[in-house]
Amino acid sequence: MKLLSVFFLFSTCTLAFCQDLAELDRRKGFKDIKLGSRIDSIKGAEFKKDALEKNEFPVKLYSVDHENYESIGEVKVKKVEVKTYQNMVYEIMVITPKDTRLMKGLQKSFGKPIYILPTDTYNWKTDSLSLTFKDNARNELRLTYRYYPLLKKMQVDKGKKIDAIAEDF
């Protein structure tokens, strides 16, 4: 009987944790900026510059300035930026002033994060995306959403380029 009670408690805790991460997957980004969406679907996106992801993949950086993204509840948002690969959003970065209510809200929405000591970050991760929460500057926090299917596509595209070179010998 005790073993059954322990199993039930463990199952309930595991199920509750999974449901929280399911919410992260369901939202798939910050407000109505969705990971994997086309850049032209984002209100207020303005091209900033071309960049390289991991010093090899050509990406574009956009700043997003729209009234929908000015705050998270009562917490002001200082900056929203998105990175795209082939015009698809794979990373969303949100900078806010430090406010303890942000972490409490994230935990309420997505459950308890995993703390990663070497990088001093809090991380929520699913099979398709991750959300990291960390200090950005002295009085700022940074939320970073990353989308794995597009990051994997970058690697596949790199492999295709290498195959094309190999076939050309």
Encode 99-141 in three state secondary structure. Answer: CHHHHHHHHHHHCCCEEECCCCEEEEECCCEEEEEEEEECCEE
Q: Does the structure show a pLDDT above 90 at 16? A: no
- For 20, the domain range is 2-167
State the Cα–Cα distance between residues 40 and 119, nearest whole angstrom: 33
State the Cα–Cα distance between residues 129 and 91, nearest whole angstrom: 10
Span of 4-13, 48-57, 155-164 with lowest mean pLDDT: 4-13
Give per-residue pLDDT as tens, 39-79.
999 999 999 999 998 888 899 999 999 999 999 999 999 99
Span of 26-30, 58-62, 164-168 with lowest mean pLDDT: 164-168
Mean pLDDT of 120-139: 95
The model carries a pTM of 0.83
CA atoms within 13 A on the CB side of 28: 11
From 114, 71, 132, 66, select the one nearest 96 (Cα to Cα): 71
Residue 84 φ then ψ, to 5°: -125, 150
Number of folded domains that form the chain: 1
Span of 4-18, 40-54, 57-71, 120-134 with lowest mean pLDDT: 4-18
Instruction: Match 């806010």 to its residue by tokens.
Output: 96
Q: Does the structure show a pLDDT above 50 at 11? A: no
